């Protein structure tokens, strides 16, 4: 894949090209994992969610997905040139995830349950993209 100019996404993430991952692109895997863990942290019934923290986590998740999506898609096509499943993920999942990035996100202040569900769903998608983008076992 040829390198094209990178774009800047939310949260000052730099989108990387698929061939950059093999050269050690600046993807902060630990930060992404921390964001995923934060988003998947259980919400105890009866306790309130901190709206500002939830909004920040949501924004980070969107940035992480925007960063990982093109890399994971390229990697998927390299591993599955004729389509097919990769750990339960198919071509339509990438399209659906890309469309979901444009949807209006729930307001953590007025809809905390919807926010928790949205964060969990996006965190699981982000975790799967991260696994695909960084999986060295799949190359063997």
What confidence tens digit (pLDDT) does each residue in 61-78 have?
A: 999 999 999 988 888 888
Q: Which residue has the higher pLDDT, 88 or 100?
A: 100
Q: How far apart are CA 133 and CA 127, in angstroms?
A: 10
CB-neighbour burial class of residue 88 (10 A; exposed 0-12, middle 13-18, buried 19+): exposed
pLDDT at 58 over 90: yes
Name the CA dihedral angle for 118, 122, 124, 128, rounded to a multiple of 10 degrees: 160
Q: Tell me the pLDDT tens digit for each residue of 10-45.
A: 334 443 444 444 444 567 899 999 999 999 988 777
Predicted confidence band of residue 140 (pLDDT cuts 50, 70, 90): very low
Residues in the chain: 140
């Amino acid at each position: 894949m040829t390198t094209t100019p990178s774009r800047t996404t939310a949260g000052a993430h730099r989108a990387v090209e698929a061939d950059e991952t093999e050269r050690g692109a600046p993807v902060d895997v630990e930060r992404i994992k921390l964001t995923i863990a934060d988003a998947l942290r259980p919400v105890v019934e009866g306790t309130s969610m901190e709206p500002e923290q939830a909004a920040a986590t949501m924004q980070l998740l969107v940035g992480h997905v925007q960063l990982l999506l093109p890399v994971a898609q390229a990697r998927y096509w390299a591993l599955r040139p004729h389509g097919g499943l990769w750990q339960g993920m198919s071509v339509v999942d990438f399209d659906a995830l890309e469309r979901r990035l444009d949807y209006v996100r729930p307001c953590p202040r007025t809809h905390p349950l919807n926010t928790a569900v949205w964060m969990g769903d996006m965190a699981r998608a982000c975790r799967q993209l991260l696994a695909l983008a960084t999986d060295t076992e799949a190359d063997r």
